[in-house]
């Protein structure tokens, strides 16, 4: 068993974590000042979203210089200090690495624009116009065409994301060599791993422009998701960088079937340590569409989670477990009740996640039950994806009200609100004006939660502790009980010595269920349990973890 299989990862979105100089943007010194807090929580690794030099059109996922820290976050010295302070506390640091695209302000792209013969031109993906328009009908994930015309070259470049984020051409050996060199530079600084942004999109099909305007409008994902050479490229990174440095790596793999995720993460293949996949957080998409008011059925959620649990384990893959990240609205607002049952809901989600097989991730603020932003005006949003989607919805005839309601439910900006440290106006996040302002004052904060008895933070600590000490939670098999249950999610984890049972009531009504004889409570979000003669009554949003005696 590997250490990172027992540990918990904490995701920091630096911009919103802790500001140290009053400019309203979180920074490295801010993170350093909160390391003791994270140590107390008990996490073993931190994943930092990008802090490289960037114009910030996608909050750092648009990298202008891979070798520099953006001054907004601090200096390279600050970063090195963060690394050593984290290591002193036995916390590993995983950097986010964006290899599918760069910013258009990256010097590679600036060179690429100079001429078709420039050696950097071929670092990106270019196509000639077809009958005077885009080479094909692909839409960017941030709305609009995925192609941008450059008149000076009479060519289009591909951008699967923002128009300021051109996709890199991994077929080019020189580009790959540059990337390995750059990864090695970071490895030599002593970091402990990478989270690899949209890594399964890096290998584009040679024939991709043939996806013509006649095919139904689509994002072309079949031509670049888990493309022809992606496993080779990742294995090459493993051989050159990840393996020799004993890195912990996690790939962001959207739209990926289990069979592929197994290939990326089975250690025998020497690619990645684990995989983020997204089927469970798309469960409230209506007909596969994100920008809709969504509802979900618990059985859909549990069947997705269960398929990933059983099949990844059967084939030697490894899941990264999560409900939230900087691209997702808060799960507490989405799947449970963030109001009357806020504490219970936060703990229930934590327990369901930590009971599963894989490495659990906590996104900043989960541990104090942070919830959606509920913005009421489009002007409150900064995120390009959300703003573009809003205009697209209006263009398609939707009312402003409905479009805003959809953003309140689905926008990723919901989880980017500054971290709530105390009860002052901007929660101790900044002494200035936060880059993203909360709509309401929310009285949940670290300060308040820590003063509360049986608080959420301590509940997470208990779960982190349990995973380190009960190996059945790490290596045990998984079994879904009552697959048709639409109110209570029940599953077991077991090996030849132990058996754990997790039950979680996803409704605001009491639910009675059978429990086999011989189970004791090890953790519950109400503190006790109501078990009588083989029947448990689960109170609203109650969750329990039981162990067989």
User: Is residue 327 at the binding interface for ligand GLC, with CB under 6 A as the rule?
Assistant: yes
Active site residue 252: yes
Query: Of residues 422-451, which lie at the interface with ligand GLC (CB under 6 A)?
Result: none
Residue with nearest beta carbon to Ca ion: 27
Selecting among 27, 167, 211, 252, the annotated active-site residue is: 252
| Rg, the chain, Cα only | 23
Query: Between 155 and 194, how does the x/- string for binding to ligand GLC read (CB under 6 A)?
Result: ------x---------------------------------
Among residues 7, 197, 284, 542, which one is catalytic? 197
In DSSP terms, which residues pair with 543 in a beta bridge?
504
Q: How far is the CB of 297 from ligand GLC (least distance, A)?
A: 26
Give the span between the Cα atoms of 357 and 312, in whole angstroms.
9
Residue 70: contacted member of ligand GLC, Ca ion, none (CB under 5 to 8 Å, by partner type): none
CB closer to ligand GLC out of 13 and 426: 13
Q: Are 316 and 266 in contact (CB under 8 A)?
A: yes
Nearer Cβ to Ca ion, position 159 or 416?
Answer: 416
Rounded to 10 degrees, what is the CA torsion of 443, 32, 413, 94? -140
Which CB, 6 or 326, lies closer to ligand GLC?
Answer: 326
HSE of 147, CA atoms in CB hemisphere, 13 A: 22
Q: Report what 197 binds from Ca ion, ligand GLC, none; CB cut-off 5-8 Å by kind.
A: ligand GLC
| Separation CA 527–CA 409 (nearest Å) | 31
- 3-state SS, residue 379: helix
d(CA 476, CA 313): 9
Identify the CA nearest to 323 among candidates 374, 365, 376: 365
321 - beta bridge partners?
Answer: 360
Number of residues in contact with Ca ion under rule CB under 5 A: 5
- Alpha carbon distance 371, 67 (integer Å): 35
Contacts of 216 (CB under 8 A, 6+ apart): none
What residue has token string 């490295």?
A: 28
**Residue 25 partner contact from Ca ion, ligand GLC, none using kind-dependent CB cut-offs of 5 to 8 Å:** Ca ion
Residue 320 is a binding residue for ligand GLC (CB under 6 A): no
Q: Should residue 197 be labelled a site residue for ligand GLC when binding is judged by CB under 6 A?
A: yes
Residue nearest to ligand GLC (CB): 61
Among 198, 321, 356, 481, binds ligand GLC (CB under 6 A): 198
**8 A C-beta contact, residue 347 and residue 299:** no
In the complex with ligand GLC, the residue whose CB is nearer, 148 or 315, is 148
Binding residues among 87-126 for ligand GLC as defined by CB under 6 A: 98
Nearer to ligand GLC, 97 or 504 (CB): 97
Choice between 95 and 351, CB closer to ligand GLC: 95
Q: What are phi and psi of 136, to 5 degrees?
A: -160, -175
CB atoms within 10 A of CB 266: 16
Q: Write the interaction track for Ca ion spanning residues 4-33; mark x where CB under 5 A is met and - where it is not.
A: ---------------x-x-x-x-x------
The span from the CA of 263 to the CA of 277, in Å, is 13
Q: How far apart are the first and last CA of the chain?
A: 25
161 binds, among Ca ion, ligand GLC, none (CB under 5 to 8 A by kind): ligand GLC
Residue 161 or 291 with smaller CB distance to ligand GLC: 161
492 binds, options ligand GLC, Ca ion, none, Cβ within 5 to 8 A by partner type: none
Q: Is 413 among the residues known to form the active site?
A: no
Contact of 329 with 363, CB cutoff 8 Å: no
Q: Is 268 helix (H, G, I), strand (E, B) or coil?
A: helix
What residues make contact with Ca ion under the rule CB under 5 A? Answer: 19, 21, 23, 25, 27
Catalytic residues: 197, 252
What residues make contact with ligand GLC under the rule CB under 6 A? Answer: 58, 61, 98, 161, 197-198, 252, 326-327
């Amino acid at each position: 068993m590997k250490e990172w299989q027992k540990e918990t990862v904490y995701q920091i979105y630096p911009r919103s974590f802790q500001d140290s100089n009053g400019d309203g943007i979180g920074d490295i010194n801010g993170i350093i000042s909160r390391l003791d807090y994270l140590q107390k929580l008990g996490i073993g690794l931190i994943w930092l979203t990008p802090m490289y030099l960037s114009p910030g059109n996608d909050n750092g996922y648009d990298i202008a210089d891979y070798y520099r820290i953006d001054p907004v976050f601090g200096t390279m010295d600050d970063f090195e200090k963060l690394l050593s302070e984290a290591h002193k506390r036995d916390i590993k640091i995983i950097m986010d690495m964006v290899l599918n695209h760069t910013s258009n302000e990256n010097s590679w792209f600036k060179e690429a624009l100079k001429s078709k013969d420039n050696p950097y031109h071929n670092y990106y993906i270019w196509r000639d116009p077809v009958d005077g328009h885009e080479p094909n009908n692909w839409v960017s994930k941030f709305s609009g065409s995925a192609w941008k015309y450059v008149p000076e070259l009479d060519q289009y470049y591909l951008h699967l994301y923002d128009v300021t984020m051109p996709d890199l051409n991994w077929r080019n050996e020189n580009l790959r060599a540059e990337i390995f060199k750059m990864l090695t530079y970071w490895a030599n600084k002593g970091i402990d791993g990478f989270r690899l942004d949209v890594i399964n999109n890096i290998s584009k099909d040679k024939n991709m422009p043939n996806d013509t305007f006649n095919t139904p409008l689509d994002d072309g994902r079949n031509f670049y998701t888990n493309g022809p050479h992606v496993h080779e490229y990742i294995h090459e990174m493993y051989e050159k960088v990840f393996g020799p440095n004993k890195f912990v790596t996690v790939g962001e793999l959207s739209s990926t079937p289990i069979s592929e995720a197994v290939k990326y993460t089975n250690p025998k293949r020497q690619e990645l340590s684990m995989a983020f996949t997204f089927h469970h957080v798309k469960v409230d998409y209506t007909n596969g569409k994100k920008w809709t008011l969504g509802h979900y059925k618990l059985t859909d959620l549990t069947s997705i989670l269960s398929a990933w649990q059983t099949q990844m384990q059967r084939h030697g893959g490894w899941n990264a477990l999560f409900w939230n990240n900087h691209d997702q609205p808060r799960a507490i607002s989405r799947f449970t009740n963030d109001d009357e049952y806020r504490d219970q809901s936060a703990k229930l989600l934590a327990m369901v996640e930590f009971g599963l097989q894989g490495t659990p991730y906590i996104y900043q603020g989960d541990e104090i039950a942070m919830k959606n932003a509920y913005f009421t005006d489009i002007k409150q949003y900064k995120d390009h994806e959300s703003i573009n989607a809003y205009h697209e919805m209006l263009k398609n005839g939707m009312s402003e009200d409905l479009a805003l309601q959809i953003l309140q439910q689905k926008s990723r900006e919901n989880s980017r609100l500054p971290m709530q440290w105390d009860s002052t106006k901007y929660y101790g996040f900044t002494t200035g004006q936060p880059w993203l302002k909360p709509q309401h004052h929310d009285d949940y904060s670290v300060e308040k939660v820590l003063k509360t008895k049986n608080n959420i933070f301590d509940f997470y600590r208990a779960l982190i502790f349990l995973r380190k000490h009960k190996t059945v939670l790490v290596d045990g098999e998984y079994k879904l009980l009552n697959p048709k249950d639409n109110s209570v999610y029940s599953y077991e984890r077991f090996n030849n010595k132990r058996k754990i049972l997790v039950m979680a009531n996803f409704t605001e009504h009491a639910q009675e269920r059978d429990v086999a004889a011989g189970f004791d409570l090890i953790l519950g979000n109400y503190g006790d349990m109501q078990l009588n003669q083989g029947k448990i009554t689960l109170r609203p949003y109650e969750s329990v973890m039981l162990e067989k005696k």
